[in-house]
Amino acid sequence: MRRARLSLLLVLALSPLVWADRLAVPHVPQRYVVQSGDTLWGIADHFFQDPWRWPGIWNRNLQIRDPDLIYPGDVIVLRYVHGTPYLVNEGPARALTGQTQNTVVLRPTVGSRALVGAIPTLDPNVIGPFLQRPLALSRRAFRRLGYVAGAVHRHTFMSPLSRFYARHLGAHPDKTYEIYRRGPALRTSDGDFLAYETKYVGQAKLVRPGRLPELEVVSSIRQVEAGDRLVPWRRAAPIPYYYPRAPRKRIRAVVVAATHNDLNLGTYAAVAINAGKNAGIRRGYVLRIFSRPRSFYDPVAHEMVRGRKQPLGLLMIFRTFSRVSYGIIMQARREIHVGDSVTTPQD
């Protein structure tokens, strides 16, 4: 699929920013030529320390199927209008003529470029493994899933090419399923139940429908066991359509789990927070992570003093459930831990 594209000035920042005085820092680059392997997050971060403040670079219309795209070779320029900074995509470098030291004179050109060559929002190698895993399910949702009833042959544990019987798949079962195992319960700091976090086991395909469906294990990262749950496989949303942006409402949440049980979390680690769709969390929201305030002893005043919470990094939400959301740490100044708080970036 190809698309005609007019290489005119494309103003990526869509309105004056209230944070302009903070962003207009000296010594930032004025011009950048997009390279193969770049990401939109990285391009914004190349100009400013807070890339989430530039939703225009990822496209304002979050539902549009065919957004204005950025390709290797495009020239991204920082401009100021009445003191407000803007990022501008001036199109392919070959379309630029008549350059002077401080001025770029544009010659519009019409061209056609493949969509598959567009720069993604995030590195697919970073977010790809998390797009469909893990799951956070309510007790009811977990009970309603189909499950592995038992092996076709005499096996307690099953691996690729093993076959098993399944139950509760419904009258019209899907062709492909992902296999999950119930993990620990996610809870609030007060102990209230949020959801079951499930562990990915593998994938299976339907080989014989009927009263007692028969499936075959296609792939697995651990042995399949009777009692594991079956979730119909769904293709994940394309990676370029994850548009980081700040929430429109105030968010208050806490990191309740890490996907790999790491004690010290850093950039590109995935974590769960205790807020989801019910709290207005949406995919692509960027939240700021803060450490818990540390108390210390003041030897002069002879008293314990509670310090301030300290900013630790940025978290981008990539998957949401009713009361739980999963995010990937995009920036980490220091180690991040379960129990740290997350809020809207402006706080």
pLDDT, tens only, 173-232: 999 999 999 988 999 888 899 999 898 899 999 999 999 999 999 999 899 999 999 999
Number of domains in the chain: 3
Does residue 128 lie within any of the structural domains?
no
- Per-residue H/E/C for the chain: CEEEEECCCEECCCCCCCCHHHHCCCCCCCEEECCCCCCHHHHHHHHCCCHHHCHHHHCCCCCCCCCCCCCCCEEEEEEEECCEEEEEEEEEHHHEECCCCCCCEECCCEEEEEHHHCCCCCCHHHHHHHCCCCCEECHHHHHCCEEEEEECCCCCEECCCCEEEEECCCCCCCCEEEEEEEEEEEECCCCCEEEEEEEEEEEEEEEECCCCCEEEEEEECCCEECCCEEEECCCCCCHHHCCCECCCCCCEEEEEEECCCCCCECCCCEEEECCCHHHCCCCCEEEEEECCCCEEEECCCCEEEECCCCEEEEEEEEEECCCCEEEEEEEECCCECCCCEEECCCC
pLDDT by residue (tens digit) across 116-143? 466 666 776 677 667 667 789 999 999 9
CB 270 within 8 A of CB 319: no
Q: Residues 337, 341, 342, 344: is their CA dihedral positive or negative?
A: negative
102 and 176 co-located in one domain = no
Looking at the fold, whether 228 and 251 belong to one and the same domain comes out as no
What is the predicted pLDDT for the residue at 46? 76
> Would you say residue 63 lies in a domain?
yes
Q: Which stretches in the chain have pLDDT values below 50?
A: 1-26, 56-67, 95-116, 240
Single out the residue in 205, 232, 259 at which a domain terminates: 232
264 shares a domain with 196:
no
Is 81 within the bounds of a domain?
yes
Give the pLDDT confidence score for residue 132 in this predicted structure: 61
Query: Residue 268's domain spans which residues?
Result: 246-343
Which residue, of 232, 255, 273, is where some domain finishes?
232
The pLDDT of residue 188 is 86
Residues near 345 by Cβ (< 8 Å), separated by ≥ 6? 50, 52, 53, 246, 286, 287, 288, 314
Q: Within a domain: residue 277?
A: yes
- Which CATH number do you get for residue 335? 2.40.10.410
Which residue among 64, 96, 123 closes a domain? 123
Q: Does residue 47 lie in a domain region?
A: yes
Q: Indicate whether 147 and 98 sit together in one domain.
A: no
State whether 227 and 317 are in the same domain. Answer: no
The verdict on 44 and 118 lying in the same domain is: yes
pLDDT computed for residue 111 by the predictor: 42
